[in-house]
């Protein structure tokens, strides 16, 4: 089967991981992105579309409140994209430019059997490409990652054409009942387990992409207060490529602080997954709803109100991290195997009897 993933970028590496899984299953699979990954994730077909990810365009969008540049969650079940005049004009103009830019590729785009639209986007905001594909009886899936659904909402003209709508974000189930939750597909085989607590000082790491969403201010406050009582290292990892950040964590980190709020989604993401895979325990906020759903997990649960107490307990007895380290990798292998997730999604979109990916 010929499969095309369409995304603004290789978000958290997830579309690329799915492509790899599909290729291992014998499919012809490609990833087409609007622009090159700013965090140096793997790229495949990069369109280099204008008015997409330059600093000036991001600044313009933020100033004009266009797209997902903000932290206010849209209302509605599901939330819908309802652009104001300025935003509508921007995307009308951009669609004309992008349509001209991709014209030489349209036959190639139409040559696939199945399409995954990351974030519910189909290159053109007007949905014309997806509409044409649907008229050709192509299979269409939407995969929501991150905050697009919360901050922008669904694009109705595209959403109504989807055969199935997936999400890797647990909280999306409450704002979009039609979504079907799947675990983050993760390639754990790429990672080797490390030994933690090798040095005299415990090293705590925090690697936020957006401080507000991760609760970084509460992390920094707790660390500052604990510095007077305990001797430890703290690394704030920011403004690095994906590979640079990963290398720092693997070489130095004994425990990761992922996120302390639900502002950017429930629980954990790729940051935690990478650390758990090498045996680095993750401190993150798992709310009661998500805790009940996960049942058994290796996370150290903390929030903005008790992060100081959680860290203090670890600093008094760092050896409690050793058991968590052993549990962490085993859990990722069991719950997030990228081949199982990919097969489940393909079976679902093709209407086949699908495999089980959730443990009992």
Residue 202: strand pairing partners: 232
Q: Is residue 111 within 8 Å of residue 2, measured between CB atoms?
A: yes
pLDDT tens-digit map of 272-284: 999 999 999 999 9
- pLDDT above 70: residue 60: no
pLDDT tens-digit map of 128-183: 999 999 999 999 999 998 888 988 999 999 999 999 999 999 989 999 999 999 99
Where do runs of H (alpha helix) occur along the chain? 14-24, 55-64, 85-102, 106-109, 128-135, 148-151, 156-159, 172-175, 211-214, 216-226, 242-252, 270-277, 288-294, 307-316, 320-335, 338-349
Which CATH architecture fits 2-185+337-349?
3-Layer(aba) Sandwich (3.40)
Q: 120: closest CA among 189, 85, 76, 68? A: 68
Domain boundaries, the chain: 2-185+337-349, 189-335
**CA 243, CA 246: separation in Å to the nearest integer?**
5
- DSSP-derived secondary structure letter, 355: P
CATH number of 189-335: 3.40.50.2000
Query: Residue 336 has what pLDDT?
Result: 93
User: What is the DSSP secondary-structure string of 131-172?
Assistant: HHHHHTT-EEEEEE-TTHHHHT-B-HHHHTT-SEEEES-TTH
């Amino acid at each position: 089967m010929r499969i095309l993933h369409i995304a603004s970028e290789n978000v958290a590496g997830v579309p690329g991981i799915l492509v790899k899984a599909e290729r291992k299953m014998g499919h012809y699979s490609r990833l087409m992105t609007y622009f090159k990954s700013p965090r140096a994730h793997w790229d495949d077909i990069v369109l280099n579309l204008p008015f997409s990810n330059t600093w000036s365009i991001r600044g313009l969008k933020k100033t004009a409140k266009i797209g997902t540049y903000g932290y206010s969650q849209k209302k509605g079940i599901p939330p819908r994209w309802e652009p104001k005049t300025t935003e509508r004009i921007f995307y009308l103009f951009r669609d004309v430019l992008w349509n001209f830019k991709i014209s030489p590729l349209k036959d190639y785009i139409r040559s696939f059997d199945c399409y995954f639209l990351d974030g519910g986007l189909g290159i053109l905001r007007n949905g014309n490409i997806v509409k044409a594909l649907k008229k050709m009886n192509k299979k269409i899936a939407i995969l929501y990652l991150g905050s697009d659904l919360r901050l922008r909402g669904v694009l109705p003209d595209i959403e109504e054409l989807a055969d199935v709508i997936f999400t890797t974000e647990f909280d999306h189930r409450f704002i979009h009942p039609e979504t079907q939750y799947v675990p983050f597909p993760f390639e754990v085989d790429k990672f080797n387990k490390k030994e933690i607590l090798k040095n005299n000082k415990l090293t705590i790491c925090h690697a936020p992409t957006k401080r507000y969403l991760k609760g970084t201010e509460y992390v920094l406050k707790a660390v500052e207060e604990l510095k007077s009582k305990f001797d430890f290292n703290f690394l704030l990892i920011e403004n690095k490529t994906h590979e640079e950040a990963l290398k720092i964590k693997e070489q130095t980190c004994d425990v990761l602080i992922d996120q302390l709020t639900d502002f950017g989604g429930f629980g954990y993401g790729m940051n935690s997954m990478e650390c758990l895979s090498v045996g680095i325990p993750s401190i993150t906020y798992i709310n009661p709803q998500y805790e009940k759903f996960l049942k058994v997990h290796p996370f150290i649960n903390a929030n903005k109100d008790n992060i100081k107490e959680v860290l203090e307990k670890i600093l008094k007895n760092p050896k409690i991290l050793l058991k968590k380290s052993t549990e962490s990798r085993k859990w990722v292998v069991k719950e997030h195997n990228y081949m199982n997730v990919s097969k489940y999604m393909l079976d679902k979109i093709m209407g086949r009897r699908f495999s089980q990916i959730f443990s009992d």
